[in-house]
Amino acid sequence: MVTVEDFGQFETTWCPGCGNFSILSSLKKTLSALDIAPHEVVISSGIGQAAKMPHYLKCHMFNGLHGRSLPVAQGMKMANPDMKVLCVSGDGCSYGEGGNHFLAAIRRNMDITLLVHDNQIYGLTKGQASPTTERGHVTKAQPAGAPSEAFNPVSVAVAMKASFVARAFSGEPDHLVDVMTQAMNHTGFSLVDILQPCVSFNKVNTFAWYKERTYFLEEHDPTNWAAAMEKSDEFGDRIPLGVLYRNDRPIFPVHDRLALHEYDTNDLKAVVQSYT
Amino acid sequence: MQDTSFNIVIGGAAGQGLATIGRLFSKGSTRAGYHLLVNQKYMSRVRGGHNTFAIRFGPDPIVGPTESIDILVALNAETLALHEANLTSRAIVIAGDDLETDAANVLRIPFKTLAPKPLFHNTVALGVLGAVVCLDAEILERLLTETFAKKGESVVQANIDVLRSAYAWVTSQEYTFPCVAPSEKDGERIMINGNEAIALGALAAGCNFLSFYPMTPATSVAMTLIEKGGPLGLVYEQVEDEIAAVNMAIGASYAGARAAVTTSGGGLALMVEGLSLAGVSETPLVCMVVQRPGPATGMATRTEQGDLNLVLYAGHGEFPRAVFAPADPEECFYLMHRAFDLAERFQVPVFVLSDQYLADSYRSLEPFDIETLPHTARPMLDADAAEYKRYLLTEDGVSPRLVPGSTKALVRADSHEHDEDSVITEDGLNRMMQNTKRLNKEYGLWDEVVEPDYYGEDTPDVLLVSWGSTLGACLDAMEMADFGKSVGVLHFKQVWPLLEDTFIDYLEESGTVITVEGNATGQFSKLIAQETGFIIREYILRFDGRPMSAEYVLAGLNTILETME
């Protein structure tokens, strides 16, 4: 039996009150409830406060570059399909720097889970607008207000018929565990966009702001694409939480563990022979 | 030296099938036991433009391309206009009877009479060419059978009929051209180009993962891996961009794959940050870089050796690497194999730096010796979970690399500075120790350096220094040089690390030292100066997008020697 304690207890560099804490403890609960042991899971992360997550967990990890957690994770999955592969990173990392990889990963549909800590701001670099910052939101870097429309990750994912799309909130940890569990049990690319207050740099989208607006999806059929499209667009006075959309699209073809693979010399000789 | 070779140039527009004629003829020559060297020039377009497929072939080994033409096969008028000036005194021109030419020795093919429809014009041209050099028609017939087998018996027979009528037509014509001397066949040969040989070398080393974004002239490495790698267990993906390619390969390598990326300079420019990640995370990675002229998009289908500096310095921060520069397809194969072994043993990025000329240059050679290839290193599959430290401080800088998922030991890799357990830390002493650990791998790489090859007599009056694909032109120039001075060639097939002790005597003891490079600034000679303090003052540099040739080297040599007198 795997327990929460198996994933260790570490000192973090997060600010007191940060939404990341609840996401970390929810992830530990999810992994232990699913009986996934530390050596059975690998976390690929990018750069940012959220991307430090694997440092605070006992598990295999590859803490790589800003925005590049998905390509690394997909390489791992292709090399070893037996691994449980998670990607953990923030909104800037996943939707800004890694935007192209986000779109490509949805299309490829490998069996991996992407957890995005979405606080609508850059925290580690101290308060610049992120791709999900709402238009007009004033920051030190955008003193006249963020000039661009916010990126809606769940709408884009649903529009692309991603195989699993959910939204959760760090202030609702039980629901978050439930959504993470569904995401990890889903076969295919699963996105969980996790709303999370940045207590230091986002004075607009606070804990209270999310708490006031979020509600749990009920009587929503996640296999209904048109309904999911409509729900995914809801972000303002009311923000739905839960599984917005899922399907059973075919996943990316899988192979044997490449580390164990040795070719047959006769096959190589045949290849050379084909050039005579 | 008696030149026993003939240089055939087939010219025409893209889409006219000149590469098909060239490849079939080359393959036929290979099977007949001839040596050959192909130099392909093409434009960045799918149809039209002016392309050439040049085959230098003969009974004796051939190392470099030549600019003079013995047989010109013109598929359009432009070919005649562009190349007639390069015809040798014995040259013959083969052209359609609708083309105008003033050449003295011409075979004007009545395509309409010899072929039932335009589809067969390639086979007509192949037959005429084969007959002129007295290549056994049966060899070409067998090739046509293999080539068209999939299209059915009737297509095969129609092509063979056309080939036979072309051979028969040639015997009825009046022209002068000597048959090529028969070759002394020394066993079965393969016909392969640089990119194919790179791909086969990778497969021979156990490469089983490729992530790539298509970019000329590197694409055919990926295409060959995909075509031939299936039975050998290759897993691959065409990704969204080069940034994804390098990061995906690093992820796969971390998880135990033998991973590679293929690209050209522009793609490598995008991969730079990922190379730095491979460096700090100590993840093995092999980069096959096939150069074309830059900066930026440059000339997409031409050749250059302009990216040496990029490859030497790509990646921020300091970390070790190795860079190989093969001269020919044979070196492409064996150096590629070695690259994978070094990448795994030292957990560093290793580059194989080729160029468009070598990429598309077919040669006929003895099949690669699979049996005697050394074993390539592999990561560990077992470790004690309590003891295992991914970044253990070791004397030689190489820490135990374990495949995650093999045991309960956790494998934790990081792009930040980290301690032995991969915990992020800014501790100064730890930083020094980890950085020194990584850089210490350089000493191990020194022990593995492939020393430069020297050709020629001791202490020559003139020493040509080549690297990568310029070797052939230098060797040809050495043979052809006729100005009362002895010429030697010093060739580097590994350009980093450079070990002064392995070559400085050649530089110091030769008369005039000249670097021969396919770039405008003499990047390699500057690297030698940086590493040894020996300043090479004379250069023969080519950067018009065309490969180095003996004629170009000799012209450069003449200029240099005249200036010195």
Tell me the sheet residues that pair with B8.
B55, B71
CA dihedral B20, B21, B23, B28 (to 10 degrees): 140
pLDDT tens-digit readout, A55-90: 999 999 999 999 999 999 999 999 999 999 999 999
Q: What is the pLDDT of residue B2?
A: 54
The string over B389-422, giving b where at least 16 C-beta atoms fall within 10 Å of a residue's C-beta and e elsewhere, is bbbeeeeebbbbbbbbbbbebbbbbbbbebbbeb
Residue to test with chain A: of B254, B261, B373, B426, most A Cβ within 10 A = B254
CA distances, B343 to each of B148, B236, B331, B375 (Å): 42, 19, 18, 13
Reduced 3-state DSSP string for chain A: CCCHHHHCCCCCCCCCCCCHHHHHHHHHHHHHHCCCCHHHEEEEECCCCHHHHHHHCCCEEEECCCCCHHHHHHHHHHHCCCCEEEEEEEHHHHHHHCHHHHHHHHHHCCCEEEEEEECCCCCCCCCCCCCCCCCCCCCCCCCCCCCCCCCCHHHHHHHCCCCEEEEEECCCHHHHHHHHHHHHHCCCCEEEEEECCCCCCCCCCCHHHHHHHEEECCCCCCCCHHHHHHHHCCCCCCEEEEEEEECCCCCCCCCCCHHHCCCCHHHHHHHHHCCC
Of A76, A263, A270, the CB nearest to B252: A76
Q: Using an 8 Å CB-CB cutoff, list chain B residues near A63.
A: 412-416, 424
Calculate how close chain A gets to B10, using CA atoms only, in Å.
22
Of B190, B209, B235, the CB nearest to A276: B190
Q: Which helix (H) or strand (E) holds B429?
A: helix B428-447
Does B244 contact chain A (CB < 8 Å)?
yes
The secondary structure of B515-558 as a DSSP string is: EEESSSS-HHHHHHHHHH-PPP-EEEE--SSS---HHHHHHHHH
Low-confidence residues of chain B: pLDDT under 50: 1
The secondary structure of B45-75 as a DSSP string is: SSSEEEEEEEEEEESS---S--S-EEEEEES
**From CA B189, how far away is CA B203, in angstroms rounded?**
20
Tell me the sheet residues that pair with A90.
A117
Residue to test with chain B: of A13, A49, A66, A78, most B Cβ within 10 A = A78
Whether B253 and A104 lie within 8 Å, measured CB to CB:
no
Percent of chain A exceeding pLDDT 70 equals 100
**From CA B359, how far away is CA B122, in angstroms rounded?**
24
Q: What is the pLDDT of residue B1?
A: 41
Beta strands in B118-208 (DSSP E): 190-193
- Hey, which residues 135-194 in chain B have their CB within 8 Å of chain A? 188-192
Whether A83 and B405 lie within 8 Å, measured CB to CB:
yes
Sheet containing B235-238: give its strands across: B235-238, B209-212, B259-263, B285-291, B349-355, B322-324, B494-496
**From CA B505, how far away is CA B183, in angstroms rounded?**
39
Mean pLDDT of A143-170: 98
Whether B408 and A271 lie within 8 Å, measured CB to CB:
no
Of B191, B257, B414, the CB nearest to A258: B257
Q: Using an 8 Å CB-CB cutoff, list chain A residues near B374.
A: none
pLDDT tens-digit readout, A83-100: 999 999 999 999 999 999
Higher pLDDT, B565 or A213: A213
Neighbours of B81 (CB within 10 A): 14
Mean pLDDT of A43-66: 97
Q: Apex CA B463: angle with CA B457 and CA B467, to 5°?
A: 110
Q: What is the pLDDT of residue A59?
A: 97
Considering only the C-alpha atoms of chain A, give the largest distance between any 2 of them, rounded to a whole number of Å: 73
Whether B240 and A83 lie within 8 Å, measured CB to CB:
no
- Hey, which residues 237-256 in chain A have their CB within 8 Å of chain B? 255-256
Does A211 contact chain B (CB < 8 Å)?
no
Q: What is the pLDDT of residue B184?
A: 79
In this prediction the pTM is 0.97
Calculate how close chain A gets to B224, using CA atoms only, in Å.
10
